């Protein structure tokens, strides 16, 4: 069977077919979940941490980083309800004068690359999200987060942590999907009735200590008792899994004593993702916040969601700084597509294929905007050299963005990446 | 091969708990003899030499003679003495073993197979040998082919001799000389064809096989029933069941078979069948119904006309679940109705409940039209049924494309129903540069080795399109592929519109079907794949792995025979495996040296899946790990811990994790803490004789008086209760003063002492943590009478028992079976 068919058949069946680096798990795709000793593994991951933030539903760039003000607030064809003259700047970045934009852009403009005028070529949620986060409009590609994790170290127990959004893996890495942050926090603090309350142990501290002593005595009895070879291996695996070196205890070390309990889901997601990264068991994460599909009452609904989104990203960066890993964290923010330039009859905005993305991370130039749209929020082609608007230039799509992101992440030449080639222009979008 | 180099060692069975494998009986405790060529075995008694082992039941005389009248005297070789092998059955080669050990391994594999294989230079000859990729019957198939060649003679001499002697035309030239080892082996093989069963081996194969397991102690009937009942039924065995099972093997099997009734069992079957078909992927929303073509089933979303929101959602859920699980439910139905298991493929009907019947637009008779669990057989218009093979969900779950052309489906059919992993055919490096042929899947040996197997079967499913719809192809099957067929048979044109049905008939007539169903039962019961034949003869463990595989194959074959004899009763396969050493091997087995290597993987030691642990929790504590009876199950909900605990979602996570990692250990730890917090106070709300965990103590039973002196009656009660807890929670039997009980007793006492001191100095309160308090009846939600509530713990005993219960619920013996 040739390689192409083998890979396809295997992928269709859910079998992992992955790089040589991870070949040990081809026959047992879940082997990577095992404890280090059980799988013969090893070193904590300490490379870059990739966080992909998904604004689910299709955000509106003209209320964010590609502002289109009006000169007449009564104009029925206006794109927004703010004046052109009110548009604000943070360095070279222009932003809409609404919601939490000012606080965010003033704080981060010198680290941000904004990519405007991205043509997703679709108005469908699934296909848009797929294109934005995998680089291909058609089905069948892993998300970039999955590709990053698979190339870095798919054997890590939470190599790819997902809280939603486009997170298909095509079998190249096991994804830990957790829409329920509460579940993970319960696992991080299994002996507490309330994970966020350190004084809520099921048993007293003394009882907990006595329990562990008794368990150790029992383990010693079991280890020394008669056992079939298989039983002995099974016992060793269990005892190792719950020993002091297991991953969850590492995760506990880096989780804050009190998980965030505000109504911004990105904050809890970020706490877990960064703690898992700090524990050396996570490489990439999908963070997800919804509520952007505002077909009615757009401004009142959408602008607060954008503010939630930006506050979430701000939280990621603050948390990264607090944990002294700012120089390791890469953040990519995107959404399914954009929203129609004009308001519909319900003061809502429908689906529009033109969108933007925001990127921050070590080595990514800040205070920079590439790509552009016209006054009607139509995409403008860009010159492949200087990236300025040029009608004879290249039309930006998520494919060009992903080519640039793959290059930035050092994935371009990797064997695994070559299984998922992207056709597009190689543009200096990230410098 | 030199007898002088063989050494003999004896292992006496250490345990009186010897039982035969399923269907077999052991009447003697003959010594198990290991014949060794070479050092390394601790049991060796004689001088060193050689490099391998032969394990045989030579009897107390220690003669080691093969006792045969045929065979090896003619070869000059010891029939038991292949230096690379460990003969785990006996020291005599019957006809089947002679073919495997001598004809196949020593001659055909070494001299012939390189050309005589499906893609070799002799692929068009009458002698085409298959490898283990063919599935569990590959040796039988090869034996049939070689026997057929051997029976053909020219001038009174078999072609099997003439060809390799090059005494007639043989493109492979001369491969043997008259009188050499291969010649002698072929000669003996032909003699055995003429005089079958003349080998002189003891004719009680079952007893010989049983002897091979004599070093494996078998666990008690109580433990066997405990594992079976908790997993299949979610309850513990009754004393009456244990008493009956202890009367003998037949009674044990009767009790096991009696477990295979009722909704809990059928629910368990649903889980294990879905582990194979993975169609639970379509359970969410209306995902399954959405896969049906609205032109074929215009009433598919009938529920949308229901005005009441709750009723509409419930109706949609019932309908979608029935459609999603149509193939799984069909398999369950075949068992439930005591039909031959072959019907999972040959059923000329589909299965619907009252809700999916409306989706499909059919109107069969139901006893209760509101019962989503009532399934009946129907014919869907225009669909030629063939059990699972005509299920739209099956075809959607294992889809095809214009270029894949059903090959993926073909591969899965081979895997599921024939025990054949066609992908192992491609387990060799392929030089892609060499693949330049026109239509390489037909013409290039690198490709055709797989495609000659996969493509004909793919063609039999031609009528099922990429969306799982029955859409016969007007243009027929692809002319650039092999014609539809199976094995060497081409599908007759009369079967063109019912290819799946034709295929089903072929599959169930194939011996591999029965064995593959036994393999499926093994996966269900043991939670792991059967052993595969080792492929690296250079490996240090090759001989041991080969012996282990051979033993397992023999047992599977024996169970498959019974399965077939019982008219393909799937319960027979399940009972067979549950009665076998693979399920029942005891940790008391005294394995050493060779036996330890051969039985390296025997026994349960299964890390319980989320579903099985959920059942065991209910069986032992009386309560599920849920906040309320209608609440979400922490262990089986994908929103909570199912995936973290190694379970599957049948979508992107399709393979269970069978060894715990840190995440899974943490789930178990939380379960043990939370369930002890909930169940200990609840247990104390009940009268002592109704309690599951604490029937021998009361909350006022403290081990010491105020002066620190033991209170003997209380101490005795506490120890007795610990004995009860070890038995109930872990299935272990101890006396009250056993060291195992001492650990738990010390834990109880020390926690209690700390608690009493803490209450005195007010560092601890009198009350139980609020979410451990038992103020309501869990099942009804009703408030308990004030006097029955357990929310205060002034003596600190409830909390001490909670710690002990956590200790037990987190134990290896609870988390594994």
What does pLDDT average to in each consecutive run of 10 residues of chain B (817 residues)? Answer: 29 29 31 26 30 24 28 30 53 84 88 85 88 85 92 92 93 91 93 85 69 89 97 97 96 97 97 96 90 93 94 96 98 98 98 98 97 97 95 92 85 94 58 49 64 90 91 87 91 93 97 96 96 80 88 93 97 97 94 90 95 97 97 93 88 78 87 98 98 98 96 98 98 96 98 97 96 97 97 98 98 97
Q: How many CB atoms lie within 10 A of CB B641?
A: 29
Give the whole-angstrom CA distance, residue B681 versus residue B658.
33
Interface test with B, best of A207, A212, A224, A232 (most B CBs within 10 A): A207
Residue A2 has what pLDDT?
Answer: 31
Q: Is any Cβ of chain B less than 8 angstroms from the Cβ of A321?
A: no
The tally of CA atoms less than 13 A away on the side-chain side of residue B149 is: 21
Judging contacts by C-beta atoms under 8 Å, the chain A residues touching residue B668 are: 242
Contact A146, B605 (CB under 8 A): no
Nearest C-alpha neighbor of A31 from the set A145, A149, A154: A154
**What are the phi and psi torsion angles at A160 (to 5°)?**
-130, 110
The helix/strand/coil state of A246 is coil
Judging contacts by C-beta atoms under 8 Å, the chain A residues touching residue B659 are: 34, 38, 234, 237, 241
Do you know the residue count of chain B? Answer: 817
Judging contacts by C-beta atoms under 8 Å, the chain A residues touching residue B447 are: 1-2
Give the whole-angstrom CA distance, residue A111 versus residue B693.
61
Q: Is any Cβ of chain B less than 8 angstroms from the Cβ of A228?
A: yes
Contact (CB<8Å) A193/B278: no
Q: How many CB atoms lie within 10 A of CB B132?
A: 16
Residue B780 has what pLDDT?
Answer: 97
Q: Using alpha carbons only, give the angle B776, B778, B782 rounded to the nearest 5 degrees.
A: 45
The helix/strand/coil state of A284 is strand
Nearest C-alpha neighbor of A337 from the set A127, A114, A128, A54: A128
Contact A379, A119 (CB under 8 A): yes
Q: Is any Cβ of chain B less than 8 angstroms from the Cβ of A202?
A: yes
Contact (CB<8Å) B644/A183: yes
Inter-axis angle of helices B610-621 and B662-684, to 10 degrees?
20
The kind and range of the H/E element at B815 are: helix B812-815
Dihedral in degrees, nearest 10, Cα atoms A98, A99, A103, A107: -80
Place of tokens 């040029």: A390
CA quadruple A237, A238, A242, A244: dihedral sign: negative
- How deeply is B565 buried, as exposed, middle or buried, from its count of CB atoms within 10 A (0-12, 13-18, 19+)? exposed
**What are the phi and psi torsion angles at B767 (to 5°)?**
-85, 155
Judging contacts by C-beta atoms under 8 Å, the chain A residues touching residue B588 are: 226
Residue B670 has what pLDDT?
Answer: 96
Give the whole-angstrom CA distance, residue B5 versus residue A292.
80
Q: Is any Cβ of chain A less than 8 angstroms from the Cβ of B404?
A: yes
Residue B681 has what pLDDT?
Answer: 98
Interface test with A, best of B14, B633, B662 (most A CBs within 10 A): B662
Radius of gyration of chain A (CA): 24
Q: What separation in angstroms does the CA of B418 have from each of A147, B388, B515, B523? A: 35, 14, 8, 15
The helix/strand/coil state of B607 is strand
Give the whole-angstrom CA distance, residue A18 versus residue A155.
11
Give the whole-angstrom CA distance, residue B815 versus residue B141.
42
Facing B669 at nearest CB: one of A190, A207, A225: A190
Q: Which residues 121-180 of A are in CB contact (within 8 Å) with B?
A: 157-158, 168-169, 174-177, 179-180
Residue B51 has what pLDDT?
Answer: 23
Contact (CB<8Å) B408/A13: yes
The helix/strand/coil state of B160 is helix
Q: Which residues 600-659 of B are in CB contact (within 8 Å) with A?
A: 600-603, 605, 607, 639-641, 643-644, 646, 652-657, 659
Give the ipTM. Answer: 0.82
Q: How many CB atoms lie within 10 A of CB B626?
A: 19
Tell which phi-psi region holds residue B762, choosing left (phi > 0), alpha (psi between -120 and 50) or beta.
left
Nearest C-alpha neighbor of B741 from the set B716, B777, B712: B716
Show the tokens assigned to B701: 């039973």
**Kind of pairing, strands A175-177 and A160-162?**
parallel
Measured distance between the N- and C-terminal CA atoms of chain B, rounded to whole angstroms: 44
Do you know the residue count of chain A? Answer: 431
Contact (CB<8Å) A30/B646: yes
Facing B426 at nearest CB: one of A6, A13, A217: A6
- DSSP symbols for B641-664: TTTTTT---SSS--S---S--HHH
Find the residue in B nearest to A183 (Cα). Answer: B640
Residue A296 has what pLDDT?
Answer: 84
Give the whole-angstrom CA distance, residue B549 versus residue B476.
43
Give the whole-angstrom CA distance, residue A327 versus residue A323.
11
Q: Is any Cβ of chain A less than 8 angstroms from the Cβ of B759?
A: no
In angstroms, the separation between the Cα of residue A173 and the nearest Cα of chain B is 11
Q: Is any Cβ of chain A less than 8 angstroms from the Cβ of B581?
A: no
Measured distance between the N- and C-terminal CA atoms of chain A, rounded to whole angstroms: 42
Nearest C-alpha neighbor of A50 from the set A189, A157, A143, A188: A143
Judging contacts by C-beta atoms under 8 Å, the chain B residues touching residue A200 are: 769
Q: Which residues 265-284 of B are in CB contact (within 8 Å) with A?
A: 278
What letter does residue B100 receive in the DSSP assignment?
Answer: I
Contact (CB<8Å) B607/A8: no
Q: Which residues 174-193 of A are in CB contact (within 8 Å) with B?
A: 174-177, 179-180, 183, 186-188, 190-191, 193
User: Using one digit for the tens of pLDDT, what is the confidence trace for A279-293?
Assistant: 898 999 999 999 998
Place of tokens 């298959």: B130
Facing A157 at nearest CB: one of B656, B663, B812: B663
**Kind of pairing, strands B32-37 and B52-56?**
antiparallel
Facing A228 at nearest CB: one of B435, B605, B815: B605
Residue B14 has what pLDDT?
Answer: 28
What letter does residue B351 receive in the DSSP assignment?
Answer: E
Contact (CB<8Å) A204/B743: no
Q: How many CB atoms lie within 10 A of CB A308?
A: 23
Q: Give the count of Cβ contacts less than 8 A between chain A and B.
A: 224
**What are the phi and psi torsion angles at B395 (to 5°)?**
-70, -30
The kind and range of the H/E element at B55 are: strand B52-56
Show the tokens assigned to B225: 């029933």
Contact (CB<8Å) A229/B669: no
Residue ranges in chain A whose pLDDT is less than 70: 1-42, 139, 171, 177-179, 244-249
Q: pTM, whole model, 2 decimals?
A: 0.73
The kind and range of the H/E element at B7 are: strand B6-11
Find the residue in B nearest to A172 (Cα). Answer: B652
Interface test with B, best of A206, A255, A282 (most B CBs within 10 A): A206
Strand order in the sheet with A284-289: A175-177, A160-162, A284-289, A49-55, A329-335, A354-360, A112-119, A368-370
Report residue A244 CA to chain centroid gap. 29
The kind and range of the H/E element at A162 are: strand A160-162
Contact A359, A112 (CB under 8 A): yes
Judging contacts by C-beta atoms under 8 Å, the chain A residues touching residue B744 are: 214
Judging contacts by C-beta atoms under 8 Å, the chain A residues touching residue B407 are: 5, 9
Contact (CB<8Å) B751/A188: no
Q: What separation in angstroms does the CA of B411 have from each of B414, B422, B423, B502? A: 5, 6, 8, 17
In angstroms, the separation between the Cα of residue B632 and the nearest Cα of chain A is 13
Residue B105 has what pLDDT?
Answer: 85
Residue B449 has what pLDDT?
Answer: 66
Residue B20 has what pLDDT?
Answer: 37
Residue B614 has what pLDDT?
Answer: 97
**Kind of pairing, strands B350-352 and B157-158?**
unpaired
Contact (CB<8Å) A203/B806: yes
Residue B86 has what pLDDT?
Answer: 63
């Amino acid at each position: 069977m040739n390689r192409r068919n083998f890979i396809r058949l295997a992928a269709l069946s859910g079998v992992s077919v992955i790089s040589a680096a991870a070949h040990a798990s081809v026959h047992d795709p879940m082997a990577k979940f095992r404890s280090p000793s059980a799988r013969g593994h090893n070193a904590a991951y300490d490379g870059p941490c990739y966080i992909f933030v998904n604004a689910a539903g299709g955000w509106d760039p003209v209320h964010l980083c590609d502002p289109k003000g009006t000169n007449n607030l009564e104009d029925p064809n206006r794109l927004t309800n703010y004046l052109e003259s009110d548009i604000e700047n943070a360095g070279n970045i222009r932003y809409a004068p609404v919601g939490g934009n000012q606080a965010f852009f003033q704080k981060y403009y010198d680290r941000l690359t904004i990519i405007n005028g991205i043509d997703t070529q679709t108005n469908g949620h699934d296909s848009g999200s797929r294109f934005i986060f995998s680089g291909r409009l058609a089905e069948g590609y892993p998300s970039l987060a999955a590709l990053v994790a698979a190339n870095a170290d798919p054997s890590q127990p939470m190599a790819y942590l997902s809280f939603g959004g486009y997170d298909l893996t095509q079998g190249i890495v096991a994804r830990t999907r957790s829409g329920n942050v509460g579940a993970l926090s319960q696992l991080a603090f299994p002996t507490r009735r309330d994970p966020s309350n350190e004084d809520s142990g099921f048993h007293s501290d003394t009882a907990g200590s006595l329990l562990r002593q008794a368990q150790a005595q029992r383990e010693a009895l079991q280890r020394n008792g008669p056992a079939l070879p298989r039983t002995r291996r099974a016992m060793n695996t269990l005892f190792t899994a719950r020993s002091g070196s297991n991953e969850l205890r590492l995760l506990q070390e880096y989780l804050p004593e009190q998980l965030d309990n505000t109504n911004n889901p990105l904050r809890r997601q970020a706490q877990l993702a960064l703690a898992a990264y700090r524990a050396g068991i996570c490489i990439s994460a999908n963070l997800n916040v919804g509520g952007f599909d505002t077909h009615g009452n757009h401004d009142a609904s959408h602008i607060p969601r954008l503010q939630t989104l930006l506050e979430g990203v701000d939280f990621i960066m603050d948390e990264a700084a607090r944990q002294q890993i700012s120089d390791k964290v890469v953040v990519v923010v995107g959404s399914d597509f954009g929203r129609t330039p004009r308001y519909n009859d319900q003061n809502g905005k429908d689906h529009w294929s033109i969108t933007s993305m925001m990127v921050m991370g070590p080595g990514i130039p800040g205070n920079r905007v590439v790509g552009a749209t016209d006054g009607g929020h139509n995409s403008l082609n860009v010159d492949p050299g200087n990236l300025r608007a040029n009608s004879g230039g290249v039309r930006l799509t998520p494919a060009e963005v992903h080519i640039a992101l793959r290059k930035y992440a050092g994935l371009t030449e990797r064997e695994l990446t070559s299984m998922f080639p992207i056709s597009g222009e190689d543009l200096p979008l990230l410098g | 091969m030199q007898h002088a180099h063989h050494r003999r060692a004896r292992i006496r069975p250490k345990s009186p708990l010897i039982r035969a494998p399923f269907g077999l009986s052991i009447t003697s405790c003959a010594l198990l003899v290991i014949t060794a060529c070479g050092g390394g075995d601790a049991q060796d008694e004689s001088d060193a030499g050689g490099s391998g082992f032969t394990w045989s039941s030579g009897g107390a005389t220690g003669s080691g003679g093969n006792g045969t009248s045929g065979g090896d005297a003619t070869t000059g070789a010891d029939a038991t003495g292949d230096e690379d092998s460990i003969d785990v059955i006996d020291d005599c080669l019957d006809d089947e073993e002679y073919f495997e050990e001598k004809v196949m391994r020593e001659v055909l594999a070494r001299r012939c197979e390189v050309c005589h294989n499906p893609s070799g230079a002799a692929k068009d000859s009458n002698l085409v040998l298959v490898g283990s990729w063919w599935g569990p019957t590959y040796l039988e198939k090869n034996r049939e082919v070689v026997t057929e060649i051997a029976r053909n003679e020219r001038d009174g001499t078999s072609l099997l001799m003439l060809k390799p002697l090059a005494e007639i035309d043989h493109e492979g030239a001369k491969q043997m000389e008259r009188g050499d080892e291969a010649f002698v082996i072929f000669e003996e093989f032909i003699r055995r064809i003429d005089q079958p069963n003349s080998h002189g081996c003891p004719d009680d194969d079952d007893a010989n096989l049983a002897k091979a397991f004599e070093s494996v102690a078998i666990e008690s009937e109580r433990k066997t029933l405990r594992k079976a009942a908790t997993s299949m039924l979610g309850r513990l065995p009754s004393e009456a069941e244990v008493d009956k099972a202890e009367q003998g093997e037949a009674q044990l099997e009767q009790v096991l078979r009696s477990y295979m009734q009722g909704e809990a069992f059928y629910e368990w079957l649903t889980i294990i069948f879905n582990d194979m078909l993975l169609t639970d992927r379509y359970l969410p929303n209306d995902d399954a119904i959405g896969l049906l073509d609205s032109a074929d089933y215009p009433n598919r979303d009938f529920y949308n006309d229901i005005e009441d929101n709750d009723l509409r959602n419930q109706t949609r859920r019932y309908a979608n679940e029935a459609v999603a699980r149509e193939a799984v439910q069909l398999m369950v139905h075949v068992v439930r109705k005591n039909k031959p298991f072959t019907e999972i493929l040959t059923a000329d009907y589909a299965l619907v409940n009252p809700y999916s019947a409306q989706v499909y637009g059919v109107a069969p008779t139901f006893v209760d039209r509101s019962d989503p669990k009532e399934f009946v057989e129907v014919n869907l218009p225009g669909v030629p049924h063939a059990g699972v093979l005509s299920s739209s969900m099956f075809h959607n779950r294992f889809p095809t494309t214009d270029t894949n052309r059903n090959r993926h489906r073909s591969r899965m059919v081979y895997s599921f129903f024939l025990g054949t992993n066609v992908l192992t055919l491609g387990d060799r490096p392929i030089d892609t540069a060499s693949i330049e042929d026109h239509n390489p899947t037909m013409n290039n040996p690198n490709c055709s080795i797989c495609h000659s197997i996969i493509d004909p079967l793919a063609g039999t499913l031609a009528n099922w399109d990429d969306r799982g719809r029955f859409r016969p192809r007007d243009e027929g099957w692809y002319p650039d592929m092999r014609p539809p067929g199976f094995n060497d048979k081409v599908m007759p044109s009369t079967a063109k519109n019912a290819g799946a049905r034709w295929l089903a008939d072929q599959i169930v007539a194939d011996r591999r079907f029965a064995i593959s169903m036994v393999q499926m039962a093994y996966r269900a019961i043991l939670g792991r794949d059967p052993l595969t034949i080792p492929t690296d003869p250079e490996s240090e463990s090759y001989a041991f792995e080969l012996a282990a595989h051979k033993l397992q194959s023999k047992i599977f074959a024996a169970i498959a025979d019974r399965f077939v004899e019982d008219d393909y009763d799937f319960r027979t396969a399940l009972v067979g495996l549950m009665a076998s050493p693979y399920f029942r091997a005891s940790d008391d087995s005294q394995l050493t040296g060779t036996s330890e290597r051969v039985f390296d993987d025997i026994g349960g030691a299964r890390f319980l899946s989320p579903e099985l642990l959920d059942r065991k929790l209910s069986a032992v504590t009386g309560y599920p790990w849920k906040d309320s009876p209608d609440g979400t199950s922490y262990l089986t909900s994908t929103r909570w811990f199912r995936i973290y605990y190694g379970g599957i979602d049948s979508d992107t996570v399709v393979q269970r994790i069978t060894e715990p990692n840190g995440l899974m250990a943490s789930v178990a730890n939380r379960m043990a803490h939370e369930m002890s917090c909930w169940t200990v106070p609840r247990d104390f709300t009940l009268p002592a004789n109704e309690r599951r965990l604490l029937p021998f103590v009361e909350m006022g039973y403290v081990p010491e008086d105020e002066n620190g002196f033991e209170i003997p009656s209380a101490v005795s009660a506490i120890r007795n209760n610990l004995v009860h807890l070890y038995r109930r929670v872990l299935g272990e039997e101890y006396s009250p003063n056993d060291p195992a009980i001492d650990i738990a007793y010390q834990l109880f006492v020390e926690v209690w002492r700390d608690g009493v001191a803490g209450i005195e100095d007010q560092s601890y309160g009198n009350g139980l943590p609020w979410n451990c308090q038992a103020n309501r009846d869990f099942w009804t939600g009703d408030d308990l009478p004030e006097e029955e509530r357990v929310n205060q713990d002034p003596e600190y005993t409830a909390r001490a028992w909670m710690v002990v219960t956590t200790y037990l619920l987190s134990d290896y013996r609870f988390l594994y079976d």
